[in-house]
Amino acid sequence: MKQEEVNGNHKRAQDRYLRRIRLEMVDAFIVGTVLFRLGYKSDSALQKGGQMYRHILVPLDGSELAECVLPHVKTIAVGCNVVKVTLVRGVAPLHIRGGMEVRIPPEERQRLEKQSIDTARNYLEKLVESLKDTDIAAQSEVLYGDVVDKILDYANNNEADLIVIATHGRSGVSRWVWGSIADRILRAACVPVLMIRAPGCIPGI
């Protein structure tokens, strides 16, 4: 296939994706600076004859609200011929959870942290299994430590070129609230970030 045809195919995939985003703007929104960064990333990739997105990183917190991003991830992955999708869940050490020191005997802390890691791993593996009915190459990773730092480090070290994450839910607040994990990822990430509003969100919150 000639290079012009390859670029043409990627350009058409880009146009289809952007049209879908515009149609679904009620359910999903992109902060203005992120939309600009998405366009810049796409142009850069196309100029090199590459794909718009090759590796999508999807942080999850174990809630149904966070999982609302998965249909969007599927659409982007299929429409843009994404090579890999990685679902991640962070597990913070007990002594820094909630920003407060938790005094627990070392043996008990180790047991509880292992339990949290195993729970997170099982949760992600089930979601990866649910993606096997598509052609998406999905994998999972449990990240232990400060959740935001670990997500950003993983994105940088594993060449993720898009992060997709959920925001507010029906109650107006999820476990990932503005000013917390989602907001910190948006502000600090070196790659484009797509933020999805969960169905039933409260306008203005």
**pLDDT tens string 68-117:** 999 999 999 988 889 999 999 999 887 655 555 567 788 888 898 999 99
Query: Is 0.95 surpassed by the pTM of this model?
Result: no
Is the residue at 131 inside a domain? yes
User: Two tokens at 142?
Assistant: 């449990």
Residues 178/92, Cβ–Cβ less than 8 Å:
no
C-alpha span between 36 and 39 (Å, rounded): 5
User: Two tokens at 17?
Assistant: 């994706």
Is the residue at 158 inside a domain? yes
Name the pLDDT band for 30 (thresholds 50, 70, 90).
Answer: very low
C-alpha span between 159 and 175 (Å, rounded): 27
Angle subtended by helix axes 70-79 and 3-23, to nearest 10: 160
C-alpha span between 186 and 197 (Å, rounded): 14
Mean of pLDDT values over 163-182: 62
Distances (CA, A) of 114 to 119, 142, 180: 9, 11, 25
Is the residue at 114 inside a domain? yes
Structural domain count of the chain: 1
Domain assignment of residue 8, given as a range: 3-196
Residues 136/77, Cβ–Cβ less than 8 Å:
yes
**pLDDT tens string 42-73:** 454 554 456 778 999 999 988 888 899 999 99
CATH number for position 39: 3.40.50.620
